[in-house]
Structure 1
Amino acid sequence: MARQDLTAALRCVSSWSGTSYPLLRSTFRFTLSSENDVSALQLAILDNLRPFVLASFLSDAEVEIEVVSNSLNSFIKLVDRSIAALDSNGTGIVFYPKSLNFAMDAAAGIGNKWGGMIFRLIPREPFPRRALQPNGSTLTVHLGIVNEMNLYPREAIPAEMRIAVAADVIGNGHVNILCAPGKPDISEMYYPGLDFHGFYGSGKGAVTFQVASSSEEEFYVLLYPIGCSELIIIPLVLGPFIVSHSHSDIEEDYPLATLRPLCINRSERIYVKESSSDLPGKVWDSALFLCDAVFDHLSSHHEKTLSILDLSSGNGAVGLYLYRKVWKYLVDEVEDFKLALTDVEEAIPLIKENVTNCCPERYHEIVVDTLYWGEEKQIDYSPFDIVIACDLVYDDEYFEVLLVTLEQLCIPGKTIIFLGYKPRGLSSEEKSVLWKRLAAIFQMKELEIQERTISGVSDIWNKSVGVEIWKLWR
Structure 2
Amino acid sequence: MARHDLTSALRYMWECFRASNQFASSTFRFTLDSDQNVSLLQLATLENLRPFVLARSVSEAEVELEVVSQSVNSFVALVDRSITALDLSATGIEFYPKILTKITTESAADIGNKWGGMIFRLIPREPFPKRALQSDDSHSSTLTIHLAIVNEMNLFPREAIPAEARISVAAEIIGNKYASILSVPAKPDISEIYYPGLDFHGFYGSGKGAVTVQVTSGNEEEFYILLYPSAPRTDMPELKLIPLVLGPFIVSHRISRDNDEEEPLTTLRPLYIDSCEHIYIKESTSDLPGKIWDSALFLCDAVYRDVSNNHGKTLSILDLSSGNGAVGLYLYRKICKYLGHEIEDFRLALTDVEEAIPLIRENAIRCCPDRYHEIVVDSLYWGAQEKRIDYSPFDVVIACDLIYDNEYFDDLLVTLERLCIPGKTTVFLGYKPRGLSSDEKSELWSRIAGIFRMQELEVQESTITGVSGICNKTVGVEIWRLWR
TM-score by length of 2: 0.75
Report if aligned partners of 1:107, 1:466 keep a CA contact under 8 Å in 2.
no
- For 1:226, the aligned partner's letter is S
Corresponding residue for residue 239 of structure 1:
247
When residues 271 and 71 of structure 1 are mapped into structure 2, their CA distance, relative to the original with a 3 A threshold, is farther
- For 2:214, the aligned partner's letter is Q
When residues 162 and 369 of structure 1 are mapped into structure 2, their CA distance, relative to the original with a 3 A threshold, is same
When residues 393 and 128 of structure 1 are mapped into structure 2, their CA distance, relative to the original with a 3 A threshold, is farther
- For 1:131, the aligned partner's letter is L
CA distance in 2, matches of 1:470, 1:132: 51
SS at match of 1:350: helix
CA distance in 1, matches of 2:290, 2:440: 26
- For 2:412, the aligned partner's letter is L
Corresponding residue for residue 319 of structure 1:
328
**What is the Cα deviation at residue 321 of structure 1?**
0.2
Q: Give CA-to-partner distance per residue, 1:82-136, whole Å, 9 cap, x none.
A: xxxxxxxxxxxxxxxxx65439936965756832100010001344522342611
Which of 462, 466, 470 is the matching residue for 1:460? 470
CA distance in 1, matches of 2:54, 2:153: 17
SS at match of 1:259: strand
| Residues 1:283 and 2:287 aligned together | no
User: Mapping of 1:256-405 within 5 angstroms?
Assistant: 256-374=265-383, 375-405=385-415
- For 1:120, the aligned partner's letter is R
Q: Give CA-to-partner distance per residue, 1:224-282, whole Å, 9 cap, x none.
A: 00123432011000011112223448532221100110000001100000000110000
**What is the Cα deviation at residue 447 of structure 1?**
0.7
User: Mapping of 1:174-213 within 5 angstroms?
Assistant: 174-178=178-182, 180-213=184-217
| Residues 1:170 and 2:174 aligned together | yes
CA distance in 2, matches of 1:210, 1:71: 48
User: Mapping of 1:102-113 within 5 angstroms?
Assistant: 102=47, 105=50
Number of residue pairs matched by the alignment: 381
Which protein has the larger Cα radius of gyration, Structure 1 or Structure 2? 2
**What is the Cα deviation at residue 179 of structure 1?**
5.5
CA distance in 1, matches of 2:334, 2:264: 30
Report if aligned partners of 1:121, 1:233 keep a CA contact under 8 Å in 2.
yes
State which drifts further: 386-395 or 134-143. 134-143
When residues 108 and 141 of structure 1 are mapped into structure 2, their CA distance, relative to the original with a 3 A threshold, is farther
| Residues 1:227 and 2:241 aligned together | no
| Residues 1:120 and 2:121 aligned together | yes
CA distance in 2, matches of 1:107, 1:161: 22
CA distance in 1, matches of 2:445, 2:402: 13
CA distance in 1, matches of 2:163, 2:145: 21
When residues 316 and 202 of structure 1 are mapped into structure 2, their CA distance, relative to the original with a 3 A threshold, is same
Which of 399, 421, 433 is the matching residue for 2:443? 433
CA distance in 2, matches of 1:216, 1:251: 12
**What is the Cα deviation at residue 464 of structure 1?**
1.2
Report if aligned partners of 2:191, 2:197 keep a CA contact under 8 Å in 1.
no
CA distance in 2, matches of 1:397, 1:102: 22
SS at match of 2:358: helix
Report if aligned partners of 2:48, 2:157 keep a CA contact under 8 Å in 1.
no
SS at match of 2:346: strand
- For 1:236, the aligned partner's letter is L
CA distance in 2, matches of 1:263, 1:179: 27
- For 1:297, the aligned partner's letter is D
- For 1:114, the aligned partner's letter is W
Sequence identity percentage: 71
Q: Give CA-to-partner distance per residue, 1:18-46, whole Å, 9 cap, x none.
A: xxxxxxxxxxxxxxxxxxxxxxxxxxxxx
- For 2:274, the aligned partner's letter is N
Q: Which consecutive unaligned segments of at least 5 residues does structure 2 have? A: 1-38, 57-66, 69-74, 76-113
- For 2:461, the aligned partner's letter is E
| Residues 1:415 and 2:425 aligned together | yes
CA distance in 1, matches of 2:183, 2:391: 48
Q: Which consecutive unaligned segments of at least 5 residues does structure 1 have? A: 1-68, 74-98
**What is the Cα deviation at residue 178 of structure 1?**
5.0
**What is the Cα deviation at residue 153 of structure 1?**
1.7
Report if aligned partners of 2:133, 2:141 keep a CA contact under 8 Å in 1.
no
| Residues 1:255 and 2:264 aligned together | yes
SS at match of 1:231: coil
**What is the Cα deviation at residue 456 of structure 1?**
0.8
SS at match of 2:446: helix
TM-score by length of 1: 0.77
SS at match of 1:378: coil
